[in-house]
Amino acid sequence: MNEAFSGVESKLIHAGEPRPQVDGAVVTPIFQSSTYLYEGTPGYHDVRYIRLSTNPNQRVLNEKIAALENTEAALVATSGMAAISTSLLSVLSAGDHLLALDCLYGGTHGLVTKDLTQLGITYTFIDGQNSDSWREALRQNTKAIYVETLTNPLLQFPDVEAVARFAKSNNLVSMIDNTFASPINLRPADFGFDLVMESGTKYLNGHNDIVAGTVAGSSDHILHIKHKLDHLGGSLDPHACFLLQRGLKTLAVRVRYQCESALRIAGYLSEHPAVARVMYPGLPDHPQHDRAQKLLSGFGGMISFEVAGGAEAADRFMRSLQVATLAPSLGGVETLIVRPAAAVHSGLSKEERDASGISDGLIRLSVGLETTDDLIADFDRALGSV
């Protein structure tokens, strides 16, 4: 670790970068080479081959992510789901039991309930707000506890400090998907999480143009996960590494702007008569606002809200927008908007969605980097047409 800097903005730009620079290049070039000269001492770990995460672009990112998350080590992978699945498969084996947050990202929900079950790994869903209930769910073979910083799409904030404490006192591996917060707003390793996963596709890259994922933790944990990644084959290609590295340099300024913009937009929406309800951790009426204020450096760029009049009104509203773009995904420079019941959560039945509080008219908004006043004017025009 370079001692000359300690701030997150400096880490984003300088951590992990080769010194001296490669041929004097200020920006680390793309190493479009799948294999490297073999330098003597025999052994698998000396082999430099692209799938083994030993390409220079992969190594720069691994160090940069570890510096950002305040962990000993980190790994980049081909997608957020590659990072999550490889990490879970490295921690859990047949016969193990997992405690998992009851409102998981869709891909992770499918992985836990279908794929892990097929491999003989069982799970129990837990209520992230009610730490007293976790003990009852604990079994002799419980190995890990898995949560998300802010849930999708309702933006609930689990009691993450209690999760880390509970894991420590019960000898569980604590795992968190920190995608919605990004390491700018929360660094879960600081209060004891063992493994922190992020979808690099979202805030870390931030330009809606690649797919990538990261996992950070102790050297021991990351070495295990690296061996699993070597076998499963989810190493990130150098060109995507380069784009992720480039995107990361502006992460702090992007996320802070998005937080500021989202707070103003959430305030605007909550006062509009055509809006029935707004969920944003930065609003005082959010059920976990106090926890968010205490732990998060910013409330994030994600807002969920309902317009009066249900799904049809929501669709009319979204079709009238001219600045915000109707598309899934989040965390990028373009403001994106979806109706989860018709898009990202359409895989769930109406009953499952109702049970999770995802009404048909619910709208999820990822605030981008456009001028805040332009976005508010866009919403204002569209709300007028509902």
Residues that bind ligand PLP (CB under 6 A): 79-81, 105, 107, 148, 152, 177, 179-180, 199, 201-202, 211, 213
Nearer Cβ to ligand PLP (235/372): 235
Nearer Cβ to ligand PLP (56/213): 213
Residue 241 Cβ vs ligand PLP, minimum distance, rounded to whole Å: 14
Residue 208 Cβ vs ligand PLP, minimum distance, rounded to whole Å: 12
Residue 161 Cβ vs ligand PLP, minimum distance, rounded to whole Å: 20
**Active-site residue flag, 105:** yes
Nearer Cβ to ligand PLP (215/386): 215
Per the listing, tokens 């569980």 go with 172
Structure tokens belonging to residue 120: 């003989």
Contact 363, 339 (CB under 8 A): yes
Query: By three-state DSSP, how is residue 259 classified?
Result: helix
**Active-site residue flag, 168:** no
Q: Please tell me which residue in 51, 165, 264, 381 is annotated as part of the active site.
A: 51
Nearer Cβ to ligand PLP (126/212): 212
| Interatomic CA distance for residues 148 and 176, integer angstroms | 5
Residue 86 Cβ vs ligand PLP, minimum distance, rounded to whole Å: 11
| Interatomic CA distance for residues 112 and 115, integer angstroms | 6
Nearer Cβ to ligand PLP (54/182): 182
Residue 81 Cβ vs ligand PLP, minimum distance, rounded to whole Å: 4
Beta pairing, strands 142-148 & 173-177: parallel
Please give the residue whose beta carbon sits closest to ligand PLP in the complex: 80
Nearer Cβ to ligand PLP (213/298): 213
**Active-site residue flag, 202:** yes
Contact 125, 146 (CB under 8 A): no
Q: Please tell me which residue in 159, 177, 194, 315 is annotated as part of the active site.
A: 177
Task: Give per-residue burial for 148-166: e unless 16+ CB within 10 Å, then b.
Answer: bbbbbbbbbbbbbbebbeb
User: Secondary structure of 204-230 in the HEC alphabet?
Assistant: HCCCCCCCCEEEEECHHHHHHHHHHHH
**In angstroms, how far apart are the furthest CA atoms of the chain?**
72
Nearer Cβ to ligand PLP (206/372): 206
| Interatomic CA distance for residues 178 and 298, integer angstroms | 13
153 cis-preceded (ω within 30 degrees of 0): yes
**H-type alpha helices, the chain:** 8-14, 56-69, 80-91, 106-110, 117-118, 134-137, 160-169, 182-185, 219-232, 238-248, 251-271, 289-295, 310-319, 350-355, 372-384
**DSSP codes of every residue in 67-92:** HHHTSSEEEEESSHHHHHHHHHHHH-
Residue 107 Cβ vs ligand PLP, minimum distance, rounded to whole Å: 5
**Active-site residue flag, 319:** no
| Interatomic CA distance for residues 267 and 160, integer angstroms | 26
Residue 62 Cβ vs ligand PLP, minimum distance, rounded to whole Å: 17
Give catalytic residue positions.
51, 105, 177, 202
